[in-house]
Structure 1
Amino acid sequence: MISLAIPDFGTWEGKIFVGILGFSWATYMWEEYLAYRQRRVYREKVEPPEELKGIMERVTYDKARAYGLDKSNFSLIEGAFNQVLSTGIMVCGGFPALWTASGRLAQWFGFAPDSEIPQTVTFVCLGSLINTFISLPWSTYFTFKVEQKHGFNKQTPGFFLKDKLKKFIVSQMISAPVVSGLVYIIRVGGDYFFLYLWGFTMIVVMFFMTVYPDYIAPLFDKYEPLPEGDLKTKIEELAAQIEFPLTKLYVVEGSKRSAHSNAYFYGFFKNKRIVLYDTLLEEYTPLNENEETKESVKEDKNGKKTGCNTSEVLAVLGHELGHWKLNHVLKFIIISQVNLFLVFSVFGSLYKYSPLYRTFGFYQNQPAFIGLIIVMQFVFAPYNEIPVQTGLGSRTGHMYP
């Protein structure tokens, strides 16, 4: 029998529970209403709008509309499942149950019962493992049914599972020291621990922004320098025109996963690099294919070449480089750090507030990392919705179907 962990509604923790759960469902219903309106547009707008006539071919429009509708239908079912699941976790005391199991597993590995850091690391690892297994059927269906139906998926089942496993291992190797550092700072940092927490997080973010492209991303994808030619020359001319400090041009093996295209830049100060997906380029053989299979890969089932020509690639890069020219990246970093400081400041005021922990079933102890999750994910939920609903939220990249 499952025992419910709903607090007494007459207490502070009961009121907090109702507020958190109520806002979660209100947000979900609002977002589903917006998604419903978008699905209706996908279904009803069979003819291309006047603005696209003469710009987008009818077959391209039809494919984009069908793909958008299938994605929306999939998100409808997955979103409902996730909302019910998250509600069940709160109602049934999933967080304290996982915390208890993590403590027992940490003790089994030889750690003391009161060792919070090993228990927290185990908690994060177990949570990630459970989440991976729960989301696996959804990601599998989306990849091999929705994406496959529209010609985007290029993965084999073996590669798909291997990639998932590799990502899980790497993410745990990264999260373990970071989580340990967070808990240690909270416990020994004193009254102003939130300042040290903010500084530590800023250093970690900058560190991984620096090392990720050169040391972590190549674990998953193959990067090669863009060959000499007209495209490389035109990109270098474009970069010079706006004084973009370009040092290297790469092509990444995106075709082994998907037919979607992407382009981005990275690097600090005067050391900028541009990365193009091989699927973006019309006259480029995917890195995971050889010349004999070039035509079959770079043409769709109607015999039309896929990818972008030189002028189209430059247009895509012009958009991305516009972010740099207008200092969007720097502004985003500053805004995200200010938001992080705000979150940590509030957490510094609330992390000893017992009703907040009892709301989620923690009556005997108040784990530091649990408190941080509660503040970031639930207390700040209304605040976090502001950039999403106003369209001010940031995007880390742009995908081109």
Structure 2
Amino acid sequence: MKRLYVWLMIGFGLYVVAISLFLLQGDLYSIPKTLSGTDADPHTFMTTQEIERSESLSRIRSLTFFITSPMQMGLLLVLLGIAVRFRNAVEAWFRRPFLQMVVFVLLFTLLLNVLFLPVDYFLLRVDQAYGLSNETMAMFWGDHAKDFVVNGVGTIIIVWIFRWILKRSPDRWWLWFWTASIPLILFVTFIQPVVLDPLYNDFRPLQNQELKAQILNLAARSHIPAEQVYEVIMSERTNAINAYVSGIGGNARIVLWDTILKKLQPEEILTVMAHEMGHYVEKHIYLGIAYGIALSFLGFWLAFHAYRFFITRWSSIWGINGENDLAALPVLLLIVTLMGFVSAPAQNAFSRVIEHRADVFSMKMTGDGTSAIRAFQKIAKENLSPVTQPKLVQWFRGSHPTILERIEYFKQFSH
């Protein structure tokens, strides 16, 4: 075991050096020379200091992502010994298996939250230092408490279903668990905009009646039966700007951050809202769910074989008593985390396709490329976002086309 940990530390150290050397090199964010001086050139709408700060912030966030993701996997492996101790403790405290499972999940979830709390605090301080975050420590701790409750309840439900299925179908649990995950995904998608989102932020109907009328008119032209547009009070948390659509069916919500209302002109906001309506009209949420379900089918099958291989070969080293042992749950979490990291490029590639489709819809409905360009120039400026990203970062973190790509597309409709 000591030899394994030593090799893990050596491998992780070499990885950190390699990824740091890549992300800290100087020319990662350069744009093609042919675009110099055009609308896509950040020097035409951002100061030199803003450009330097946006690139610096991107490097920090990307480096944190690429370091903490494998660190979490390694930590889960190291914590298997702690998981065995937690299992022994809950079995001594309670006789009922359900109570043992609930307390084990809460203990292990709390441990992970505490161990990764410094990373969350570091990212908060970074955003504050760069002038993006207005979040207070009360908000920080309040959000973490809510996350613990929501994630704890969700994890308990998922683990209970998993163990119930595993006990009854040890050789086909991956298929039945995948089947059971479909209604769970739909349920969460339905309740998120009306139950979960309001736990964290204050939503209210859009106060600007003139803009509301323009947005609802755009919705009517898009054949969207919308009666309300929402704004969420985000200025108490951030200076960044954003808008989004969430939920499906009657629970779908078009939401603007109050920061976007303050920093963008109405015609610029309309191009952004037309983009969000494009997601609704083209049923991107449904397509995303379908894509996720299809991808998870392969994921569950791979997880089944990886989990069985690990338990069969190495469970005795840690004192794990079979696949249905509570102490084996971190193994499954490790596998899921690894697969999530590896599959990120595929998920982001799909996301970039539907985001571009929403941009196409926006231009179809507004035809106002000039306002769209101005909107994304301001988004880059206010959010401190580089107009382009290195390919590796775009593969693993880029859920949207780069700002440069989007501005270049909108140029066709500018006048």
Fold match, TM over 0.5?
yes
The one of 333, 354, 365 equivalent to 1:373 is 333
1:2-401 alignment runs, 5 A limit: 4=2, 6=4, 32=20, 35-37=23-25, 40-42=27-29, 49-52=36-39, 58-59=45-46, 62-73=49-60, 75-76=62-63, 79-80=66-67, 83=70, 86-87=73-74, 90=77, 93-95=78-80, 97-111=81-95, 115=97, 118-144=99-125, 146-189=126-169, 191-227=171-207, 229-269=209-249, 272-282=252-262, 307-349=263-305, 351-353=307-309, 358=314, 361-368=317-324, 369-370=329-330, 372-378=332-338, 380=339, 384=343, 386-387=345-346, 392=349, 394=351, 400=379, 401=383
Superposition deviation, residue 364 in structure 1: 4.1
Q: TM-score, normalised by structure 2?
A: 0.70
Structure 1 pair 195–58 and aligned structure 2 pair: CA distance change class (3 A): closer
For 1:80 and 1:351, the matched residues in 2 are separated by 24
Whether the 8 Å CA contact 2:178–2:300 is kept in 1: the answer is: yes
For 1:170 and 1:271, the matched residues in 2 are separated by 20
Structure 1 pair 170–329 and aligned structure 2 pair: CA distance change class (3 A): closer
For 1:361 and 1:121, the matched residues in 2 are separated by 25
For 1:164 and 1:192, the matched residues in 2 are separated by 36
Over the aligned positions, Cα root-mean-square deviation in angstroms equals 3.9
Superposition deviation, residue 334 in structure 1: 1.1
Structure 1 pair 131–61 and aligned structure 2 pair: CA distance change class (3 A): farther
How many residues align? The count is 352
Q: Which segment drifts farther, 352-361 or 235-244?
A: 352-361
Query: Identity over aligned residues, as a percent?
Result: 20
User: Aligned with 2:242: secondary structure?
Assistant: strand
For 2:10 and 2:194, the matched residues in 1 are separated by 44
Structure 1 residues 201-237: Cα deviation after superposition (integer angstroms, max 9, x where no partner): 1111111111121122212211111125211011111
For 1:78 and 1:124, the matched residues in 2 are separated by 25
Superposition deviation, residue 336 in structure 1: 0.7
Whether the 8 Å CA contact 2:84–2:320 is kept in 1: the answer is: no
Whether the 8 Å CA contact 2:134–2:237 is kept in 1: the answer is: yes
Q: Which runs of 5+ in 1 are unaligned?
A: 8-16, 283-306
Q: Which runs of 5+ in 2 are unaligned?
A: 359-375, 384-415
Structure 1 residues 13-41: Cα deviation after superposition (integer angstroms, max 9, x where no partner): xxxx99x999988987775565345x534
For 1:167 and 1:354, the matched residues in 2 are separated by 30
Whether the 8 Å CA contact 1:357–1:371 is kept in 2: the answer is: no
Structure holding more helix per residue: 2
Superposition deviation, residue 310 in structure 1: 0.8
Q: Which amino acid aligns with 2:259?
A: T
For 1:326 and 1:77, the matched residues in 2 are separated by 34
Whether the 8 Å CA contact 1:245–1:271 is kept in 2: the answer is: no
Whether the 8 Å CA contact 2:246–2:253 is kept in 1: the answer is: yes
Superposition deviation, residue 350 in structure 1: 5.2
Q: TM-score, normalised by structure 1?
A: 0.73
For 2:16 and 2:217, the matched residues in 1 are separated by 47
For 2:2 and 2:90, the matched residues in 1 are separated by 26
Structure 1 pair 247–332 and aligned structure 2 pair: CA distance change class (3 A): same
Superposition deviation, residue 330 in structure 1: 2.2
Whether the 8 Å CA contact 1:43–1:69 is kept in 2: the answer is: no
Superposition deviation, residue 50 in structure 1: 2.4
